[in-house]
Amino acid sequence: GDSVTQMEGPVTLSEEAFLTINCTYTATGYPSLFWYVQYPGEGLQLLLKATKADDKGSNKGFEATYRKETTSFHLEKGSVQVSDSAVYFCALRLAGSARQLTFGSGTQLTVLP
Amino acid sequence: DAGVTQSPTHLIKTRGQQVTLRCSPKSGHDTVSWYQQALGQGPQFIFQYYEEEERQRGNFPDRFSGHQFPNYSSELNVNALLLGDSALYLCASSLQGATTGELFFGEGSRLTVL
């Protein structure tokens, strides 16, 4: 079945460090790919997305590129801030399943000042 | 502009009981989806409602049922509660005709089954 695998956390970084959170997927067809973020005490928020191969999604300094050949969608940021501390979820959506997302297990990121 | 609101925020039930969770979608949205998020896991899709009908369903037993009202708000009902039903239940709303299909999530209702 369709699935998303994320690197295990938690991840702890110092402010201004480089961030990579790995995400790979298994899916039939060509899914859309997403990164959601969950800040403490808040609901899930869409961070960025990509709908086809080689698309790059970006937002708030975060980037991820849809790599069909490696079935990956790794999240990167060049310089993290304390305010980036949150749980990050990679997710996929199959064509025709408009509101059904398949999520990874999440990666807890803590950024220390 | 109110976002997605859910109630109650926390509740405790015992095995065998029934629970109803409520969701009001973001203003202007007509579609509601429900997700279950177990501790340390990602959310899992339960079902989606549009035009007061269940449109899609994930791999959840019939103990999980729902309803959507004419004002687009929704309820999630779980019967015969099991310990394994303890989780954060998330509601997400969207606009059916929107090309982006972005989901907006509420903060969730945390259910503990004893």
Give the pLDDT band (50/70/90) at residue A96.
confident
> Nearest CA to B23 among B95, B104, B85?
B104
Q: How far is A50 from chain B (nearest CA, A)?
A: 11
Whether B46 has a pLDDT exceeding 90, the answer reads yes
Give the pLDDT band (50/70/90) at residue B60.
very high
Whether A104 has a pLDDT exceeding 80, the answer reads yes
The mean pLDDT of chain A is 93
The mean pLDDT of chain B is 93
Summarize the confidence of residues B21-29 as an average pLDDT: 95
- Whether B42 sits inside 8 A of A4 (CB atoms) is yes
Q: Which of residues 59-88 of B touch A (CB under 8 A)?
A: none
User: What's the pLDDT score for residue A47?
Assistant: 96
- Torsion, Cα A63 A24 B33 B90, to 10 degrees, reads -80
Report pLDDT digits (tens) over A3-19. Answer: 999 988 899 999 999 99
Summarize the confidence of residues A94-112 as an average pLDDT: 88
Tokens of B46: 């339960």
Exposure of B32 in the CB half-sphere (CA atoms within 13 A):
32
Whether A42 has a pLDDT exceeding 90, the answer reads no
Lowest mean pLDDT among A40-54, B19-33, B60-74: A40-54
More confident residue, A110 or A95: A110
User: What's the pLDDT score for residue B21?
Assistant: 98
Distance between CA atoms of B109 and A100, rounded to whole angstroms? 19
List of chain A residues whose C-beta atoms are within 8 Å of the C-beta of residue B96? 98
User: What's the pLDDT score for residue B99?
Assistant: 62
> Nearest CA to A45 among A96, A84, A4, A94?
A84
Substitution target in B35, B105, B109, B110 with the highest count of A β-carbons within 10 Å is B105
Q: Which residue of B has its CA nearest to A51?
A: B100
Substitution target in A4, A44, A46 with the highest count of B β-carbons within 10 Å is A44
Summarize the confidence of residues B11-28 as an average pLDDT: 96
B96: Cβ–Cβ under 8 A, 6 or more apart, which residues? Answer: A98, B30, B31, B50
Give the pLDDT band (50/70/90) at residue A24.
very high
Give the pLDDT band (50/70/90) at residue B1.
low
List of chain B residues whose C-beta atoms are within 8 Å of the C-beta of residue A100? 33, 45, 48, 56, 58
The Cα-based distances of A61 to B73, B87, B91 in angstroms read: 35, 32, 28
User: What's the pLDDT score for residue B27?
Assistant: 93
User: What's the pLDDT score for residue A43?
Assistant: 86
Q: Kindly state whether B40 is in contact with chain A, defined as any CB-CB distance less than 8 angstroms.
A: yes
Nearest neighbour of B42 by CB, restricted to A41, A45, A105: A105
Q: Which residue of A has its CA nearest to B5?
A: A43
Q: How far is A12 from chain B (nearest CA, A)?
A: 17
Q: How far is A36 from chain B (nearest CA, A)?
A: 10
